[in-house]
Chains A and B, each alone.
Chain A
Amino acid sequence: MTRKEIEKRCREEMQQTIPDKEALWERIESRLPEQQPAQQPAGKRSHIQMMAFARIAAACLLLVIVGAKSYQMFQKSLHPAKTDENQSYFTAEESSGEEAEDSPKGEADAWDAKYGDAAEENEGIAAPEASTSDEKELLHYSDLAVPGSGSIPLSVPLKAPEGSYFSEADVLEQTECFVDVIVQDGVQEPDTGAVVYSMEVVDCYGAEVPENSLTIVSDTPYLLEIGHEYVLPLRQTEDAAWALTDACAPQFERTQDGKVLFQSGWYSLMTEESVPVLCDSRGTDDYFYDRMYLTGYAELEAFLREWERQL
């Protein structure tokens, strides 16, 4: 019996339900009238009500912004020449005159690639007419609340296997568990080039890994950093070792302020709240440095819970 089967057995055993749920509710309800809910002090609203008012106010504000934006886009489509000065921060940067042309081509390409792609993917998220707020929308990895660099020295460069690409559905299907880990150490094996990571397990979703500490051997070029916290999709290999389900893309990285960095291939996590984050390119084969996003860890947790339920 595998651990997964044991957990399934436990789950089945814990499926007891209230024998007569309706009768129990009637019993509760019959005792309710005598018990008034806790009264709130006069003139003082509860947190719940305050939150509800705040939400309604936020929704109204959002409606006004969306309406104004739609109107502006409509106007723009009718009179494109008039709205040139209102073009987006990203587009403005791309065509910002002689300085960009004078700069070395490589740098300009890198800039365009970084900001151009981020702009494409960020369309509809940022308010284009206010460049200051746009600048706030685009974060750099160095802005994130993560520990300092814990780079693992490499003697052999690592490359993503050719022809491999990330697919959320495939990764979810092949993954047996997601583990929240803190990387303790990483050493590259000189003969294979793969990095042997030692990790401390913080939390698990799906199947459980057997130990508090975990060793994973991986040749992913998206190196994990020592001291950083990640959420990794894992599968068991034929020799019962745990391995990354997908090594051709960056993994989820947790920040110390309750957020998580993820790559845009996890499309289920992409919302209007997701904030683009620019990372330093790891080289010409880094396809994700400008396709990273930040969201709340609660979003990832809900996503993993849903995945866990469908196991």
Chain B
Amino acid sequence: MTDAEFEAAIGKVTAGDKTGLRDLYDAYADTIYRLFLGKVHNHQDAEDLTSDFFLKLWECAAGYRPGRGHRCWMMTIARNMAIDYLRKAGHTIPVEDAEMVSPAALTETKTAADTVTEHMQTEGILSVLPEDEQEIVRMHIAAELTFREIAAILKRPLGTISWKYRNAIGKLQKLAEEGSLL
């Protein structure tokens, strides 16, 4: 959806026309769902959050200011909703998950390699990455956001985002070379 198409749709929403929201839903529901799924790791919760997201769009459509990038605006809303949800659910990142950031260390031993494999079977290949790298990879690949947009959403320097993304892909590549990637 281009900015102009988005503005037309959000204009309809502001005027109370449901077809505008339907247009937005058709264009972005799957992307938003994938982003939530990446955060909450549960299909039902991701669906609930997606539903809440579009209701929130209905409520706050008048707050959109044209010319600032609609995807960035929507992803910021989605991300904040996911963070609120995780806070409410008392979600914390287990230390052992945080330690998964070093695939090189994990693949040094058979046990570690098995752990990587198990994680990938249940959570997908991104699960071997730390949360922040997973989020950047998802935003760049699934939501098709540029590094500049991601940097704006996450409020981090552009160079950091670009570096973390390359670092994440490099880790997966290394695992693939070592034969640990499913």
- A→B interface (CB under 8 Å): 1-3, 5-7, 9-11, 13-14, 16-19, 21, 24-25, 27-29, 31-32, 35-38, 40, 46-49, 51-52, 200-205, 208-212, 301-302, 305
Selected contact of A10 from candidates B2, B141, B166, CB within 8 Å: B141
Contact between chains at A32 and B18 (CB < 8 Å): yes
Contact among A47, A205, A210, A301 for B66, CB-based, below 8 A: A47
Residues of chain A with a CB closer than 8 A to B30's CB: 16-18, 21
Interface 1/0s, chain B 151-174, versus A by CB < 8 A?
Answer: 000000011001101100110110
Chain B residues with Cβ below 8 Å from A6 are 169, 172-173, 176
- Chain B's nearest CB lies how many Å from the CB of A45? 10
The 5 A-B residue pairs with the shortest CB-CB distance in the complex, in nearest-first order: A1-B176, A14-B142, A48-B11, A38-B62, A17-B30
Query: A55: nearest residue on chain B (CB-CB)?
Result: B4
Distance between Cα atoms of A1 and B54 in the complex (Å): 39
Whether A48 and B47, one on each chain, are in contact in the complex, defined by CB atoms closer than 8 angstroms, is no
CB distance B141 to A37 under 8 Å? no
B99 to chain A minimum Cβ distance, whole angstroms, is 22
Q: A305–B144 contact, CB under 8 A? A: yes
Interface positions of B from 1 to 28, Cβ below 8 Å from A: 2, 7, 10-11, 13-16, 18, 21-22, 25
Q: Is B72 an interface residue, CB under 8 A from the partner? A: no
Is B76 at the interface (CB under 8 A from chain A)? no
Is the CB of B55 closer than 8 A to any CB of chain A? yes
B60-A38 in contact (CB<8A): yes
Complex: how many Å from CA A38 to CA B13? 10
B138's closest neighbor in chain A, by CB? A14
Contact with A along B45-73 (1 / 0, CB 8 A): 00100110011001111111110000000
Task: Pull 13 A–B residue pairs with CB atoms less than 8 Å apart, ordered by A.
Answer: A1-B177, A6-B172, A9-B172, A10-B141, A11-B142, A14-B142, A16-B34, A17-B33, A21-B30, A32-B18, A32-B21, A48-B14, A202-B159
Q: Give which listed residue, A35, A40, A202, contacts B14 with CB less than 8 A.
A: A40
B6 to chain A, nearest CB (A): 10
- Chain B's interface size range is 35 or more
Is B115 at the interface (CB under 8 A from chain A)? no
Question: In the complex the two chains form, is A16's CB within 8 Å of B37's CB?
Answer: yes
Cα distance A9–B128 when bound, in Å?
Answer: 14
Which residues of chain B are near A204, meaning CB under 8 Å? 147, 162
Inter-chain CA distance A5–B61, complex, in Å, is 39
Bound CA span A222–B60, Å: 49
Query: Known interface pairs A16-B33, A201-B162, A210-B170. Does A52 touch B51 (Cβ–Cβ under 8 Å)?
Result: no
Minimum CB–CB distance for B1 against chain A, Å: 12
What's the Cα separation between A5 and B169 when bound, in Å?
10
Given A28-B54, A37-B16, A46-B14, do A208 and B165 touch, yes or no (CB 8 Å)?
A: yes
A208 touches B50 (CB 8 A): no
**Distance to closest chain A CB from B157 (angstroms):** 11
Contact (A32, B66) CB under 8 Å given A204-B162, A212-B162: no
CA A18 to CA B47, docked complex, whole Å: 7
**Chain B residues, CB < 8 A from A32:** 18, 21, 55, 58
A301 to B176, CA, bound (A): 31
In the complex, the answer to whether A37 meets B66 with C-beta atoms within 8 Å is no
User: In this assembly, does B106 line the interface, its C-beta being within 8 Å of a C-beta of chain A?
Assistant: no
- Contact check, B141 vs A14: say whether CB atoms are below 8 A apart: yes
- Tell me the smallest distance from the CB of A142 to a CB of chain B, in Å: 27
Bound together, the chains give a CA A259 to CA B10 distance in angstroms of 27
* Minimum C-beta distance from A305 to chain B (A): 7
The minimal Cβ–Cβ distance linking B20 to chain A, given in whole angstroms, is: 9
Q: Whose C-beta in chain A lies nearest to the C-beta of B30?
A: A17
Q: A3-B173, A18-B30, A203-B162 are in contact. Are A13 and B125 (CB under 8 A)?
A: yes
Chain A residue with Cβ nearest B173? A6
- Are A208 and B166 CB-contacts (below 8 A) given A14-B142, A24-B50, A203-B158? yes
Q: Which residues of A contact B166 (CB under 8 A)?
A: 208-212
Give the docked Cα–Cα distance between A212 and B165 (Å): 11
CB contacts (< 8 Å) of A301 on chain B: these are: 146
A37 near B13: Cβ-Cβ < 8 Å:
yes
Interface pair A202/B162, CB less than 8 Å apart: yes
Kindly state the separation between the CA atoms of A302 and B22 in the bound complex, as whole angstroms: 24
Give chain A residues whose Cβ lies under 8 Å from the Cβ of B25: 25, 28
Q: Is B181 an interface residue (CB 8 A)?
A: yes
* Complex: A32 Cα to B24 Cα, angstroms: 14
Q: Which one of A5, A28, A37, A209 lies within 8 Å of B59 (CB-CB)?
A: A37
A83 to B119, CA, bound (A): 77
